């Protein structure tokens, strides 16, 4: 019997379709933050036409107008009520400066010149001509067994103090590691001590004439600038001891002595290892140091993007847009400080605005805040946090950008880094979110050196985020640290590293996106403002 063909039935296996990964809209909109757009805005704001954007001056008002128009063009609303522009929060500051033509410092019949023979680094109670009989208190130090004030009642008195600290064989007597102590680094510790003791004024004498000249040259740009504050605030504060820095030659006249006499006193202290009685017989000094005061208006600029189901909670993205203005006819453009942060906020606003326009807007509302007066004392952020447009209790965090366009002296060119300050001060959860977003999206080196409580530069307290932190609002301060062009004429657009600035801006965006869209606001579980 012949064999036939056998049919074999087979089943065709149908492959199960794999669902496409959900679109990560954060990446989509973060990519709208581009170096080209950053450059476009910064080339405008950091140009000579904006005259350095000094608070209260024409260039600052021009910058405010530019920012307000950009926010409007991006579809943001102006949240400020009862203002001539809903994008502008106006407030008043007080400006005062020395009445140079009325200044006086005279010993005997000799009058001395301000900013040549002496300068003043504080307010002065001597608006009218006053004759003083100062007393010499050595180095003005009080530490353990070394006490220049022992047995002296100096409340309400006027003092003469030697700058620096006592040394023996070139080593500071009051140091344990051979390095200058706080008394020798500068005069702040001595001034604070004198103020604590109720002293009326201190005349600092630097026995090194070259160092006096160097200090005068160093502080000259600031001494010529007006001081600012809120009206009446300076008068309400406890007075500090008036601080005069007099030249070496004028110091000798005030002590009724000479270089040899001062050197002899210093040698005696070094030999004894403690204060010694001085033989100086200080001369009387006539002083007059009035200030002129005027008030002026300035403004914060803000754009508001309303959220969806959690719109009553607000995330703030901030930067200061003011800078140093014009000095000696030269424009300080402040491209990095803080043009870089300001234009980054504009790019963040554009990214979130585009997301909302395309149906992917954030759950929480976002306030894009450009503040003025940072360079003069964090005034814009202080005014906003004391007079918030949205309740601070509903403000979940402030992400603040100040100088994000350069590489500092602690890094080499090309380093992919950003310094973060304050991220863990009030909320460990905010810190963790920041770390996660960087790990997932940008992989920058996160440098926390300024977060150290012992940071000698106290960076945490020196930008606008701090005014939110003092109200218990969690913060992250993004910066890249100081560089040689900080507060110099050379802080220009040509030196900005736009590719790196773009990447830093995207890190802020991803952190903001997560904060604005997660179910819960970051918990406040610490108290380190």
Bigger pLDDT: 227 or 116?
Answer: 116
Is residue 57 within 8 A of residue 294, CB to CB? The reply is: no
pLDDT given at position 63: 98
SS3 string, 68-100, reads: HHHHHHCCCECCCCCCCCCCEEEEEEEEEEECH
Bigger pLDDT: 31 or 4?
Answer: 31
Look up tokens 């590489």; give the residue. 407
CA distance 157 to 200: 5
For the cut 80, the answer to whether the pLDDT of residue 135 exceeds it is yes
- Identify the H or E element spanning 419: strand 417-421
| C-alpha distances out from residue 459 to 207, 449, 479, Å | 32, 10, 10
CA distance 314 to 433: 17
Look up tokens 């201190």; give the residue. 202
- Identify the H or E element spanning 272: helix 259-272
For residue 509, count other CB atoms closer than 10 A to its CB. Answer: 28
For the cut 80, the answer to whether the pLDDT of residue 528 exceeds it is no
Confidence band for 19, pLDDT divided at 50, 70 and 90: low
> Averaged over 119-147, what is the pLDDT?
95
252-280 per-position pLDDT tens digit: 999 999 999 999 999 999 999 999 999 99
For the cut 80, the answer to whether the pLDDT of residue 156 exceeds it is yes
| C-alpha distances out from residue 215 to 208, 364, 390, 416, Å | 11, 50, 44, 36
| C-alpha distances out from residue 49 to 62, 63, 296, 332, 343, Å | 9, 10, 22, 11, 17
CA distance 491 to 335: 6
Confidence band for 22, pLDDT divided at 50, 70 and 90: confident
Confidence band for 476, pLDDT divided at 50, 70 and 90: very high
- 228-261 burial, b at 16+ Cβ within 10 Å, e below that, comes to bbbeeebeeeeebbbbbbbbbebbbbbbebeeee
> Averaged over 373-380, what is the pLDDT?
96
Short-list 418, 404, 501, CA closest to 38: 501
CA distance 506 to 483: 23
pLDDT given at position 2: 43
| C-alpha distances out from residue 505 to 20, 156, 364, Å | 29, 53, 20
- For residue 183, give both structure tokens: 């008394």
Percent of the residues in the chain that have a pLDDT greater than 70, as a whole number: 95
Confidence band for 1, pLDDT divided at 50, 70 and 90: very low
Q: What order do you get walking across the sheet with 130-132 strand by strand?
A: 110-111, 104-107, 285-288, 130-132
pLDDT given at position 11: 52
Confidence band for 28, pLDDT divided at 50, 70 and 90: very high
- For residue 354, give both structure tokens: 């585009």
- For residue 88, give both structure tokens: 């502008």
For the cut 80, the answer to whether the pLDDT of residue 117 exceeds it is yes
Short-list 317, 303, 285, 304, CA closest to 381: 317
pLDDT given at position 17: 60
pLDDT given at position 181: 87
The whole-model pTM stands at 0.82
53-104 per-position pLDDT tens digit: 999 999 999 999 999 999 999 999 999 999 999 999 999 999 998 998 999 9
CA distance 112 to 119: 10
380-439 per-position pLDDT tens digit: 999 999 999 999 999 999 999 999 999 999 999 999 999 999 999 999 999 999 999 999
pLDDT given at position 255: 98
């Amino acid at each position: 019997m012949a064999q036939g063909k056998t049919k074999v039935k087979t089943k065709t296996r149908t492959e199960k379709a794999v669902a496409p990964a959900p679109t990560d809209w954060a990446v989509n909109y973060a990519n709208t933050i581009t170096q080209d757009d950053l450059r476009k805005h910064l080339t405008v704001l950091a140009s000579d036409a904006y005259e350095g954007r000094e608070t209260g001056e024409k260039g600052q008002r021009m910058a405010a107008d530019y920012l307000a128009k950009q926010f409007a063009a991006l579809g943001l609303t102006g949240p400020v009520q009862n203002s001539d522009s809903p994008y502008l929060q106006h407030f008043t500051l007080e400006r005062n400066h020395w009445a140079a033509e009325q200044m006086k410092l005279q010993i005997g019949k000799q009058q001395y010149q301000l900013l040549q023979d002496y300068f003043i680094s504080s307010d002065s109670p001597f608006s009218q001509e006053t004759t003083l009989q100062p007393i010499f208190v050595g180095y003005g130090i009080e530490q353990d067994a070394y006490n220049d004030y022992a047995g002296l009642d100096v409340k309400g008195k006027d003092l003469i103090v030697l700058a620096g600290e006592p040394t023996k064989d070139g080593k500071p007597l009051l140091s344990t590691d051979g390095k200058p102590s706080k008394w020798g680094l500068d005069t702040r510790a001595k001034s604070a001590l004198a103020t604590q003791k109720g002293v009326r004024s201190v005349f600092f004498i630097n026995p090194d004439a070259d160092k006096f000249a160097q200090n005068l040259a160093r502080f000259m740009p600031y001494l010529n600038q007006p001081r600012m504050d809120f009206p009446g605030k300076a008068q309400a504060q406890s007075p500090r001891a008036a601080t005069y820095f007099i030249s070496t030659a004028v110091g000798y006249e005030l002590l009724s002595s000479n270089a040899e006499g001062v050197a002899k006193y210093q040698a005696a202290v070094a030999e004894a290892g403690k204060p010694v009685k001085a033989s100086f017989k200080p001369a009387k000094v006539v002083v007059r140091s009035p200030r002129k005061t005027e008030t002026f208006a300035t403004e914060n600029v803000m754009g508001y993007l309303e959220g969806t189901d959690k719109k009553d909670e607000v995330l703030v993205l901030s930067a200061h847009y003011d800078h140093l203005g014009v000095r000696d006819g030269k424009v300080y453009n402040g491209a990095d400080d803080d043009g870089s942060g300001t234009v980054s906020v504009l790019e963040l606003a554009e990214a979130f605005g585009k997301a909302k326009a395309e149906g992917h807007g954030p759950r929480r509302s976002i306030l894009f805040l450009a503040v003025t007066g940072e360079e003069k004392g964090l005034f814009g952020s202080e005014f906003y946090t004391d007079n918030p447009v949205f309740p601070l209790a509903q403000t979940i965090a402030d992400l603040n950008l100040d100088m994000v366009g350069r590489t500092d002296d602690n890094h080499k060119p090309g380093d992919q880094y950003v310094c973060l300050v304050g991220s863990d001060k009030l909320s460990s959860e905010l810190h963790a979110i920041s770390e996660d977003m960087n790990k997932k999206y940008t992989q920058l080196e996160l440098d926390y050196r300024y977060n150290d409580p012992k940071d000698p530069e106290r960076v945490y307290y020196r930008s606008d985020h701090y005014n939110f932190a003092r109200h218990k609002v969690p913060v992250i301060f993004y910066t890249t640290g100081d560089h040689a062009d900080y507060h110099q004429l050379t802080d220009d657009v040509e030196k900005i590293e736009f590719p790196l600035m773009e990447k830093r801006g995207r890190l802020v965006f991803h952190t903001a996106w997560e904060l604005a869209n997660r179910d819960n606001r970051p918990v406040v579980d610490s108290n380190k403002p």
